[in-house]
């Protein structure tokens, strides 16, 4: 990890120890889907920074990054916040869901995300949408994400990188996109996120 980069927080020692032996080979990795969103500051740069920070995590390897989409904020009055840039990342990981969540929160904190209000504006949002085929109603981390199946800003970029994807317990992403529609989810073909090398 590049410790000179102030936007990347160190992974807690407990997590490093947990996956240290598996970091090179990623023995028996699990598939995870991460949704990213930003509507404050340099949105594209922040999304790329979050992707790079995920890749810098021991036990995580990013396999695909979706195109960038611009969307209106969810759950607030139109025009009350800047629009979002959204993307979805597919990764393989040896981290358990709880440690992946911990890393996501550390990345949010590194980019100074503020949690003053529900549906409030944010520099970065890092959500675990799905982890393998796990179904869990744990209030700390519900899997799959409890609203992913109704959010076009998650489903549309996810479909781009995995046309055969399914939301566990909810069905194929392609069918869910058909049900919720794509209104307000605008492809930003002028922008691009890099897959870490």
Q: Give pLDDT tens digits for 73-126.
A: 876 666 668 899 999 999 999 999 999 999 999 999 888 766 555 556 788 999
* Domain coverage including residue 107: 13-187
Annotation marks residue 125 as catalytic: yes
Residue range 34-49, pLDDT digits in tens: 999 999 999 999 999 9
Annotation marks residue 151 as catalytic: no
In the set 43, 52, 103, 127, the catalytic residue is 127
Annotation marks residue 127 as catalytic: yes
Residue range 161-196, pLDDT digits in tens: 999 999 999 999 999 999 999 999 999 999 999 998
Residue 33 phi, psi (nearest 5): -120, 125
118's tokens: 């529900």
Number of independent structural domains in the chain: 1
Annotation marks residue 162 as catalytic: no
Please report whether residue 101 resides in a domain. yes
Please report whether residue 154 resides in a domain. yes
CA distance 44 to 32: 22
Please report whether residue 110 resides in a domain. yes
**Tokens 């090179």 label which residue?**
24
**Tokens 């993307």 label which residue?**
87
CATH of the domain at 115: 3.30.70.560
For the entire predicted model, the pTM comes to 0.82
Please report whether residue 31 resides in a domain. yes
């Amino acid at each position: 990890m590049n410790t000179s980069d102030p936007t990347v927080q160190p992974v807690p020692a407990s997590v490093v120890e947990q996956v240290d032996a598996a970091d090179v080979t990623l023995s028996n990795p699990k598939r995870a889907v991460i949704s990213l969103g930003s509507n404050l500051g340099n949105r594209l740069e922040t999304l790329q920074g979050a992707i790079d920070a995920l890749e810098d995590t021991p036990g995580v390897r990013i396999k695909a990054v979706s195109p960038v989409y611009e969307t209106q904020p969810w759950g607030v009055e139109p025009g009350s916040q800047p629009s979002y840039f959204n993307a979805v990342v597919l990764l393989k990981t040896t981290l358990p869901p709880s440690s992946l969540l911990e890393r996501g929160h550390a990345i949010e904190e590194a980019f100074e995300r503020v949690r003053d209000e529900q549906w409030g504006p944010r520099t970065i949002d890092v959500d675990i949408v799905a982890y393998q085929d796990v179904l869990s109603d744990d209030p700390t981390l519900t899997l799959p994400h409890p609203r992913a199946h109704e959010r076009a800003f998650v489903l549309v970029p996810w479909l781009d990188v995995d046309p055969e994807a399914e939301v566990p317990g909810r069905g194929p992403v392609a069918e869910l996109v058909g049900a919720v529609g794509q209104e307000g989810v605008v492809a930003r073909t002028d922008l691009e996120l890099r897959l870490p090398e």
